[in-house]
Amino acid sequence: MQYLIIASALLFVVLTAFAGENVSAKGNSVAVFGGGCFWCMESPFEQLEGVVDVTAGYAGGDEVDPTYGQVSSGRTSHIESVQVVYDPEKISYDELLDTFWRQIDPTDDSGQFADRGNHYRTAIFYSNEEEKEVAEKSKEKLNAAEVFDRPVVTAIVPAKKFYPAEEYHQDYYRKNVAHYSAYKIGSGRAGFLNNVWGEDSGHKEYIKPDDSVLRSTLTDLQYDVTRKDATEPAFNNTYWDNKEAGIYVDIVSGEPLFSSLDKFKSGTG
């Protein structure tokens, strides 16, 4: 999230995982993964059948009730993580691991993409010996497949208490589609995953939020233009005279549209 780029314009369940506890209410299980920026880790898991809920947060450290400001500045021993609540009768822990590997660069032990520092490193937090064994075998399998030019260095460590992040970070990819997409592209994550996995990255890249979400997040003009085929008035919209460099993206889906390098002065607004 430290990478800035120009872009055009709930369920939140607080579940806390402790070491040795990986079962939530109604027989669901809980898994915790650190994959760098937690904005980019929610969507892939939430799209999986059998996943009940995904919460962005902080894990692996000893500090109590850490804040985003503390963690993102490297002032704690926590890393950005996601907590995945899932039904083990519908999806296995091993399948979650497969999705996890396809969202990260597991060969980087100093951060992820544009986000550098130990607080952005990758990790699998196991809650029991069975999870540890499954995770280690999954890591060995990935190394043996030689998908990457360097060895997989993602840590497999005992789970500590998980702390949910602030509300504005939850489902960020839905609430702030344009900024999320621009960040994922600009940070280098999207390009890396596409180069390594292509269409097998494990999730759809661009998602159109429900109409109710769009009504609450878009301005009246943005909603009318994107949903009702309305037209912005010439010389009277947010980006008509924007001269900053960046990537323009679809405000609804986050799909990249064009680079500022492709702009030219047409005289039409």
Structural domains in the chain, sorted by start: 29-198 (3.30.1060.10), 211-262 (2.170.150.20)
List pLDDT tens digits, range 102-139. 999 999 999 999 999 999 999 999 999 999 999 999 99
**What are the pLDDT digits (tens) for 214-264?**
777 778 877 777 777 777 777 777 776 676 655 566 776 655 565 454 555
Q: How far is CA 64 from the centre of its chain?
A: 24
pLDDT tens per residue across span 24-81 = 557 999 999 999 999 999 999 999 999 999 999 999 999 999 999 999 999 999 999 9
User: Active-site positions?
Assistant: 37
Given pLDDT bands bounded at 50, 70 and 90, which one contains residue 8? Answer: very low
What pLDDT was estimated at residue 257? Answer: 62
Going by pLDDT thresholds of 50, 70 and 90, the confidence category of residue 19 is: very low
SS3 16: coil
- Residue 175 confidence (pLDDT) above 60: yes
For the chain, what's the residue count? Answer: 269
Strands, E assignment, the chain: 29-35, 51-59, 79-86, 111-112, 115-116, 122-126, 155-158, 163-164, 247-249, 256-259
pLDDT confidence of residue 3: 42
CA distance 35 to 69: 18
Cβ atoms of 50 and 90 closer than 8 Å:
yes
Q: Which among 88, 112, 87 has a CA at the least distance from the CA of 33?
A: 112
Asked whether the predicted pLDDT for residue 157 surpasses 60, the reply is yes
pLDDT average, residue stretch 90-108: 98
Q: 0.75 exceeded by the pTM? A: no
Tokens of 97: 């691991």
What was the pLDDT predicted at 254?
58
Spatial CA neighbour of 43 closest among 181, 159, 148, 140: 181
